[in-house]
A = this chain, B = another copy of it.
């Protein structure tokens, strides 16, 4: 039973059906096919505004390509000190930008505060002609700690960024999960809150590989294809990626998937909250949670074949583990895990 990551799951049958349907005769390569051409409309409808949308096969690239297209070489990329792009990508942002500067911002439970961002920006004053220019603000929604920024929190951060002329990027690897949590529209949680470009993830939520880079101001996408091309992300048979995106957004498949992941996460959270020896470390607001458990309990769970990541230790030396639920996780899976924890911690 696997609680290690939503990206280890398989895919919805609808996705494979969409690939079959896309395999009809020749079609323009490198995005010049009807399916890919429809993305601006399909994704635009989803967001209730005009967009430029590009299908990309990995979250790393879907984040770093628009960041690269939004920063000069001497620019800086502000993000949470625990941001995935900062910590877990082997230097991908530095690579894609050819050496722009990462600017970590202090965060609490995964969320940058407006004060911390303001302090960072003050350290790189616009008046200094010799220093890094903060160029991009990158927010992760759902955050890396499993929390969800409120619309007001997003707006407070994007306002600061825009005052400095920065581009606001959102890493939306789990955008659908956050949407379900907030119960708002895709528009509310993106362009209306000040997001300029979004990496809309779908692969953690049921596709093989169908991330979408969404520019809410299509003018900014003018040379984006060139960044995609030279990074080797312009797949020849792009229709097969675009088809996944279209199928994922059709019939609310995305919402159905995310709702399940969040609901079973809530069930897991509630069960864990009743366990005395278990400490939940951050608010659980989507489908990820960080939990401190006795070492013996962790061992017992592993011995029974439960899969999950250990991510460190808490202040008193207990292992901290991460549980992630997905569109395929069942209530039964959760109850099974809870029972095992209950027994192991007893």
Contact = CB atoms under 8 A, between A and B. Distances in A.
Interface of A: 2, 5, 7-11, 16, 19-20, 22-30, 56-62, 64-65, 68, 72-74, 76, 88-92, 94-102, 104, 129-133, 203-204, 208-209, 223, 225-227, 229-237, 240, 307, 328
A8 B23 contact: no
Contacts of A88: 131
Nearest to A104: B104
B9 A16 contact: no
B5 A58 contact: no
Contact of A236 (B58, B96, B237): B58
A74 B230 contact: yes
Contacts of A76: 91
B233 A58 contact: yes
A192 B57 CA distance: 34
Contacts of A209: 57, 235-237, 240
A129 B226 contact: yes
A329 B62 CA distance: 35
Contacts of A204: 236
Contacts of A328: 26
Given A16-B20, A209-B235, A232-B64, A227 B74 contact: yes
Contacts of A89: 229-230
Given A236-B203, A237-B11, A60 B229 contact: yes
Given A7-B236, A99-B97, A90 B26 contact: no
A209 to B, nearest CB: 6
Interface pairs A-B: 6 shortest CB-CB: A61-B232, A98-B98, A94-B99, A60-B232, A7-B236, A74-B226
B130 A237 contact: no
Contact of A90 (B9, B74, B203, B240): B74
25 contacts: A8-B28, A10-B25, A16-B23, A19-B208, A57-B57, A57-B235, A58-B232, A58-B235, A61-B232, A72-B223, A73-B91, A74-B90, A74-B226, A74-B230, A76-B91, A88-B131, A89-B230, A90-B130, A91-B132, A92-B230, A94-B99, A94-B101, A95-B99, A129-B226, A204-B236
